[in-house]
Each structure stands twice: as structure tokens, then as C-alpha cells.
Amino acid sequence: MTTREPTTACTLTRSMLRGATLLVLCAAACAGCVNSFGERETPTQGDNIAEVQLFGEGMFNDWTPEGEWLVSPRLDAPDGVTRVGVLVELVEPGELPAMEARSLDGDLAGRWATVSSSWGEEDTHVGVADLGVGDGAMLRILATDTARIRTLRWNAVIPEVHDDASGEDLGATRAALRTELTGIGITSRESWGARATRCTARDSSRVRFAIHHTVTGSTDPRRQVRGIQTYHMDSRGWCDIGYHFLIGVDGTIYEGRPLHLLGAHVSGNNTGNIGISFVGCFHSSGCAGLGPDHPPTVMLNAAGRLIGTLSHLYGISVSSSTVKGHRDHPGQTTSCPGDYLHARIPDIISTARTSSLGSTPAPAPTPAPAPAPAGASCHHTYGGTYGNHACSRSYQCCNGDWRSRGACGSCTCTETTGETGCGG
């Protein structure tokens, strides 16, 4: 492969740079789902975005060692590439691993450019590298850093062009929820720390719903929602997060892209479509280490009640024709929202027909369990027993209750798999 000097990075397509018409990548592409859930690489298909998701044991098996780096296979981008973006979840909190990217144009290869962090919180990071124009890209990671990575999503795109040349976030970061949706338990953009939207395309028709999953971890939905929004905006150049609502594993509903704006979550099927994404990974394979792979009942109930509320608000008749998984829409080649979530869509529909966020009475309170005796141990869901003050990967046993690490002093011992435990 021949190395060439990179051209100046920009937001124009290859055809324009060669004298043809400007083409902006369509915002209707998949917002978070991937299309095939193997244990290693899963290229996205059927969308305008060249993207790969890696997770699970052996996710870097297909990468090539080159000195101190591991180099990815070529990611083809037929619509062109001037930027590579990454969304990384780490095994433990830490800095963004050392990464570099380069564009490819046929057999010509640009110089490696550093992937710089645009956002990071604890174990979740977004990074971008602006490149010369090409029709493909490669990513390389410092080999010693690969063991730190739980999941990696990366894309090769020409970022969308917006009217604001400054690149600043415009619009109302703190725009209020629609009046009918306030006071019924939806976490507003302001509450979860959203960036201001740059979207201007409105969508007055609301006739259907699309169910997705984010294919991320699920332990801290607020942080993961912020990471997804940043990845959509910084790497793809989107005007905002693609979904209208996201649901955490505890049933918390997060406001995504403002509801009056056109979403970006089902390629070619966004008009009139409200995008609802479950934070987590709910497929029959490839979701190990990303939290529960079956959606908890509290998530399903929250989705059903949300759809019930919105169906009354917009006059949508709830049925299998109006509430579909991403994969069920015409022209899609995706497994989203995962087999286990997809199988529960009839339950979501059933709840939506009878319940809403404003009308469903709160369940009777569960009697509080008797307090654990001082010094009691804790049992991990993976089978391990942890003594008092012992720590797992993310939590600490404090008198029989799991708390955040450090909640009851220093860890007396640490065992991160959850299968063995320690100090018990």
C-alpha cells in the first residue's frame, strides 16, 4: 500500500472535491444499532454510515500486529470519508486508549493521525480524527491498550454540514418538554446534561414508533446517553442524538432529540417515526459483559407506558403495525433491537394499550427488608461471595449491601470477575 500526503480534512464529499455536486450524508442512518452480532466485528449495512462495532472475547482477532500497534482491517466507505470517530467503553475508568486513524483512497494510504478525545467520563470516551479524503479508512490501537477496552464502535464518515459555520452548539439546550409530557417522570435533557441541539428539520406527523437498543453497557444510563449524543454529533456531524427517547435499565425515561424534530434512527423511515432506544444490549449473542441481555420488566413497562402516553397525545392506534422493531421496517438489514427485546415488543404493545405515564397508579410499596447484620457479606449475580468492604469491578460490599466503591472505606480485597469473590 502506497503512503501519500493527506489532503486537507473537510466536510465535503469525494465527488465535490473532484468537481462534482456536494453530497451530504443522510441523517436517516442507524443511530446506534449494529446489524450482525458476532463476537468480534460487526459492520453496519444498509445505512449511509460505514461503521463497525467490536465487543466480546477475541474482538481484535482479525486485526494485524504492526510493531507496537494492532491495525484494523480496511473499513470501506463508498460515500467517502474525511473523519474517523470512535465510541469506547473501558473495562475500568481511565483515559482514552492510544489510537490513530488514516484514510485510504484505492491503494493509496494517508498518514496516521491521532484520534483525539472530544469527550470522556470515567469509562466512556468519544474521539475523532480528521483525515484526507478517501473511500475507506483504517484504525490502529496501541497493543498494550486493547485489554482495557470492553466495547469499541468506530466509523468512517464525511460529517454532515450544518448552516452554522462556527460549529457551535445552537438552539435551546434547556428547551422544555412538551407541556403534556412534564411532571410524568421523563428525565429532561437539562437533567441528564444534554448538549444544545443544532437540528432544524421539524416533523409534524407522528404515526408510528421504532424500538431500538444502543448496544452499549447499561450500568450508568445517564453517562451512556451523554456518550451516545456526543458520538452522534462529534463523529457523524449529526445535529443531535438520533433517538427521541431512551430508557435505562431501571426504567428511567430520558428525553432525547426534541420530539417536534425529525429523528435519525431508521434509514429511510424517519418521517412520522418516534425513536425509542433501550440503553443496553439485548441480543442472543455478543452482549456478554454489557449488563443484562434480557430487558428487565421495568424497562418494558416504561416503554409501554411511554408509548401509551404518546399514542393518546398524537392519536396513534397502538398495534404491531405502528410499534415495530428497527429490523421490521422496510429496507433494513439489522438485528436491532436484539432478539430478546424484539420478542417482548408484543408485551410493550399490550402495556401501551392499557397504561400511560400519567394514569397508571404507583404499585404498592414493597416492605423494606430487615437490615443486614453488621459485617454481612454480599453475593454477586455471577456467583461470587464478597466479604464486608470487599470490592467487585464497580461496587463494594458494605454490611451486606452493594454500594459504589469507596462508600464504606478502602477495599479490603478486589475480585473483578464476580465469579469467585474474595474476603468471604
What is the mean pLDDT for each group of 10 consecutive residues in the chain (424 residues)?
37 36 31 41 46 84 96 93 94 94 94 95 94 95 94 90 50 61 84 91 92 90 93 90 94 93 87 94 84 93 94 93 91 87 95 78 44 68 81 80 76 85 83
pLDDT value for 57: 75
Instruction: Decide if 360 is inside a domain.
Output: no
For the chain, helix (H) and strand (E) counts, in that order, are: 6, 23
387 and 320 in a common domain: no
Please check whether residues 328 and 241 belong to one and the same domain. Answer: yes
- The pLDDT, as a whole number, for residue 162 is 60
Q: What pLDDT sits at residue 168?
A: 47
Of 329, 354, 379, the last residue of a domain is 354
Residue 394 and residue 320 share a domain? no
Residue 59 forms part of a structural domain: yes
Are both 134 and 219 inside the same structural domain?
no
Which of 308, 325, 354 terminates a domain? The answer is: 354
Any domain includes 302: yes
Judging by beta carbons within 10 Å of its beta carbon (0-12, 13-18, 19+), is residue 95 exposed, middle or buried? exposed
Same domain, 263 and 290: yes
The letter for the amino acid at 290 is L
350 and 417 share one domain: no
Q: Residue 134, by phi and psi: left (phi above 0), alpha (psi -120 to 50) or beta?
A: beta
Residue 86 lies in a domain: yes
Specify the pLDDT at position 3.
42
> Is 319 domain-assigned?
yes
Residues 124 and 236 in one domain: no
Residue 366's pLDDT is 46
Residue 172 belongs to some domain of the structure: no
| Boundary-marking domain end, from 326, 354, 382 | 354
Looking at residue 187, its amino acid is: T
Do both 27 and 135 map to the same domain?
Answer: yes
CB-based contacts of 183, cutoff 8 Å, min separation 6: none
Give yes or no for a contact between 55 and 286, defined as CB atoms under 8 angstroms apart: yes
**CA-based nearest residue to 274, from 342, 350, 206, 320:** 206
Same structural domain for residues 94 and 187? no
Look at phi and psi of residue 423 and say left if phi exceeds 0, alpha if psi is from -120 to 50, else beta. Answer: left
Is 242 in contact with 264 (CB distance < 8 Å)?
yes
124: which strand partners?
89, 121
Q: How many domains does the chain have?
A: 3
Structural domain range at position 413 = 371-424
| Entry pTM | 0.71
What are residue 152's DSSP bridge partners?
54, 88
pLDDT value, residue 353: 92
> Is 394 inside any structural domain?
yes
Q: What pLDDT, on the 0 to 100 scale, is given for residue 328?
A: 87
**Shared domain check, 252 and 118:** no
The answer to the question of residue 138 being in a domain is: yes
Q: Do 229 and 349 have their domain in common?
A: yes
First to last CA, the chain: 56
Q: Is the same domain home to 143 and 221?
A: no
Q: Is 150 helix (H, G, I), strand (E, B) or coil?
A: strand
3-class state of residue 402 by DSSP? strand
